[in-house]
Amino acid sequence: MDKKTNYLNLIENLDNLLEFDHFEMSILANSSALIKEMLKDVNWVGFYLLYNDELLLGPFQGKVACTKIRLGYGVVGTCAQKRASIIVPDVSLFPGHIPCDETTKSEIVIPLFIEGKIYGVLDLDSKKLKRFSSIDQRFLEQVAIIISKHLTREARQIRNI
């Protein structure tokens, strides 16, 4: 199956899967599981959620990871500060990259917004160099929009967003 078709399937499956979820953490946990299951060569998928000036580890699939990243630091904190996706083809060349798993070679981080405010980020790591392209970015931004859509009603109640 080509990359585009696989992403279209992921987006459709995710939208259906989240339709009946009514709890923020369940939405995030199942999203990370489905993304990890449907994408090739990805060793870590998860969320960092913004609380004040820190991004705190949310639900994820993969090895144990850093729990706290300051806004503006690492790929995660830079993405949240700039409110823009970041592709890192080679993590060893990203100044300030925070290594959680030594075998990770490339990374992509996508911001998540709730009603225009930054809520957190979606982070994917790979053991392959240059795993993520602009095609991945385009589709993962759509994935983030689906997740935000399902979070909106729940997050407002739980985290006062």
Residues that bind ligand SME (CB under 6 A): 44, 65-66, 69, 74-76, 97-98, 100, 107, 123, 125
Least spacing, CB of residue 156 vs ligand SME, in Å: 27
Q: Which is nearer to ligand SME, 74 or 120 (CB)?
A: 74
User: Rounded to whole angstroms, how far apart are CA atoms 74 and 121?
Assistant: 12
CB 27 within 8 A of CB 16: no
Sheet holding 68-70, edge to edge: 68-70, 54-61, 44-51, 117-126, 106-114, 86-88
CB 45 within 8 A of CB 32: yes
Least spacing, CB of residue 160 vs ligand SME, in Å: 26
Q: Which is nearer to ligand SME, 39 or 154 (CB)?
A: 39
Least spacing, CB of residue 48 vs ligand SME, in Å: 7
Residue bearing tokens 């602009």 = 134
Q: Which of 137, 108, 103 is nearest to 123 (CA)?
A: 108
User: Rounded to whole angstroms, how far apart are CA atoms 122 and 144?
Assistant: 7
- Which residue sits closest to ligand SME, CB atoms considered? 74
User: Rounded to whole angstroms, how far apart are CA atoms 74 and 59?
Assistant: 19
Q: Which is nearer to ligand SME, 1 or 64 (CB)?
A: 64
Least spacing, CB of residue 41 vs ligand SME, in Å: 15
Q: Which is nearer to ligand SME, 98 or 161 (CB)?
A: 98
Q: Which is nearer to ligand SME, 123 or 136 (CB)?
A: 123
Least spacing, CB of residue 129 vs ligand SME, in Å: 15
